[in-house]
Chains A and B, each alone.
Chain A
Amino acid sequence: MVAFLIRRILFLVPVLLGGSAIVFTLIQLAPGDPIDVLLGVYSSPESRQALREAYGLNDPPYVQYFRWLGHILQGDWGISIQQRVPVLTLVMEKFWITLLLTGAAGSFAIIVGVGAGIVSAVKHNTWIDRVILVVSVFALSMPSYWLGLLFIFVFSVQLGWLPTGGIRSFIEPKSTLDVIEHMIMPGIVAGLTPAAIIARVARAAMLEVMRLDFLTALRAKGLSEGAVILRHALRNAMPSIVNMTGLQIGYLILGGALFVEIIFSWPGLGLEIYKSVVGRDMPMMLGLVLFSTFVFVILNLLVDICYRIMNPRIQSE
């Protein structure tokens, strides 16, 4: 376990270095110039030059990369060109907002996904099982940016039940209930695809376990079916479910939530990434991608560790 941990943690270094180098190279290759965005295309060469010098944009790419990396390690993530705010401050602030949405979406995905997976496995090969399977394919195929629009059309525009977007309303800000109201639609929309994937994995894992003899022994002992399924079968199916759930939440924070944030104007990392891409805000974009990579890698590490702890058979190998 210790050797595994050390190996896994050491592997963080090349992943983070490689990842940041890839993104940095990409941005260097990109056509367009942040100065255009700041000063306009028709600005004077002198003012452009001065600004390029001030932002260090005239140095060779590798100098810019290592200088940037050095700053990162010291906690200085640069200043957003568009918003003139320290990148790290902005990234951290947005991260919590995205985490809030991920929490809502993740809870929805886990409850619905694991629940549907268990029901589907217990009712294996019945119409209930088939309906759940077909619905899961539909949920997998659902573009979140489209479902989001449909939700807004039905629940906000037509029925007027829920706010169309944002994180809180102007009338009664700072109320928790208000934030929760704003979270319902984006949470469900973002959680739908992960729910479908978790349901399929949970079903497969449960079916695998339910084939085993020890459950028959437990039933023979007189244990109720509910206890057999929930206390014993589910527990043994847990490693695969936790593994997939962790990965799905990783994808959710670092991508899946992006379209949902744009549709619902949820002011998190996704919306910020979109804005920095459109505005060619290089420090912001690099910061966001590096931060996301970092979170993604750590999350994968945690998932791996959980999987090992829950599945002692791997340890002995």
Chain B
Amino acid sequence: MAAPSDIVSTSPGSTQGESNDPWRRLRVLKNHKSIVAGAIIVSLVVLAALLAPVLSPYDPIEGHPIDRLKGIGTPGYLLGADQQGRDMLSRLMWGARSSLAIAVVPLAVAGLIGLVLGSVAGYSGRIVETLIMRGMDIVFGLPPILLAIAVAATLGPGLVNLMISLTIVLIPPMTRVTYQVVVILKEQTFIEAARASGASSFQIIFNQILPNSVAPVIAYATSLAGAILVFGAGISFIGLGIQPPEADWGRMINDGRSMLDLKPHVSTLPGLAIFVLAAGFNFLGDGLRDLLDPRMRL
């Protein structure tokens, strides 16, 4: 996990001489190949997930025992079949849904909570700041992977519980990164101007601070998405996440473990899928960070 301070930008948003012409904006992307690569990978996976009911050749749960463990390229089974004769391609397409949910939903929810908590803590200072930030430090002081596993184990297996456990772990870093952005923003002259014009703290937080901290927080969240996907699928892999017979990439790796030496495609294909989607998120995250904070360009 990168340090939150890595992506804090001091520029308050859209003041970098951008034009309103959408094509010119798109041309900017030419210099950000990593955004393009990441966006293409992630969009393809999103498309596969959305179109799974239409495009997937078979039902992801229904097995065809006679076709079990068919290899890659067998007629009718483009990517082979698993130990119950379920079509791998169909399961991978349906599994994309839970994988995307694991990566995106906890980050979105934790991002929203973090935005509010971080803005309030950063702007108000004093006791509120101490309470929120020291509270976050306590949760941050716990090993994150262990905490998520403890929460997932407590709530019991399932997609929703897995997402809750990941959200809990993500709230402290999201709050902290918002806080760091807000502490810098607070000193900017446009905030001072708003204050001088008689705006209340509430108005300043919601009308000035929040909109200006969204971009760096989204960039930070995107840079975490790959790691969260790998980790969330890992929790599924050890049996605490999504339960069979639902198609899920982490779970599928575990299902194929016992026949790794004979039919490696059963567990290597879903692993490859996790890897590719995580790489997509990481490219996208790197690119967004470069775009927002050229000082940190890699």
Interface residues of A (CB under 8 A from B): 11, 14-15, 18-19, 22-23, 26-27, 29-32, 133, 137-138, 140-147, 149-150, 152-153, 157, 197, 200, 203-204, 244, 247, 250-251, 254-256, 258-259, 262, 273-274, 277-278, 285, 288-289, 292-293, 296-297, 300
Contacts and interface: CB of A to CB of B under 8 A. Distances in A.
Interface string B136-156: 011101111111011101111
A31 B156 contact: yes
B238 interface: yes
Contact of A141 (B3, B146, B230, B238): B230
Given A133-B298, A137-B282, A29 B154 contact: yes
Nearest to B144: A255
Given A14-B138, A204-B296, A251-B143, A274 B238 contact: yes
Contacts of B141: 15, 18-19, 293, 296-297, 300
The 8 closest A-B pairs by CB, nearest first: A255-B145, A146-B271, A254-B143, A141-B278, A18-B138, A141-B279, A15-B141, A30-B154
B143 A293 contact: yes
A66 B206 CA distance: 42
A143 B271 contact: yes
Contacts of A259: 234, 237-238
Contacts of A29: 154-155
Contacts, number: 150
A249 to B, nearest CB: 12
Given A14-B134, A293-B142, A296-B143, A200 B154 contact: no
A31 B157 CA distance: 11
A29 B250 CA distance: 26
Given A19-B138, A149-B267, A149-B268, A255 B146 contact: yes
Given A277-B153, A296-B143, A149 B279 contact: no
Nearest to B240: A277
A94 B286 CA distance: 37
Contact of A292 (B146, B154, B155, B230): B146
Contacts of B85: none
A26 B230 contact: no
User: Among B135, B151, B230, B275, which residue has the most Cβ atoms of chain A within 10 A?
Assistant: B230
B57 interface: no
A303 B127 CA distance: 28
Contacts of A26: 150-151, 154
A145 B264 CA distance: 14
Given A23-B150, A140-B226, A145 B237 contact: yes
A273 B267 contact: no
A67 B55 CA distance: 58
13 contacts: A15-B141, A27-B154, A29-B154, A30-B153, A30-B156, A137-B282, A137-B286, A145-B234, A145-B253, A289-B150, A293-B141, A293-B143, A296-B143
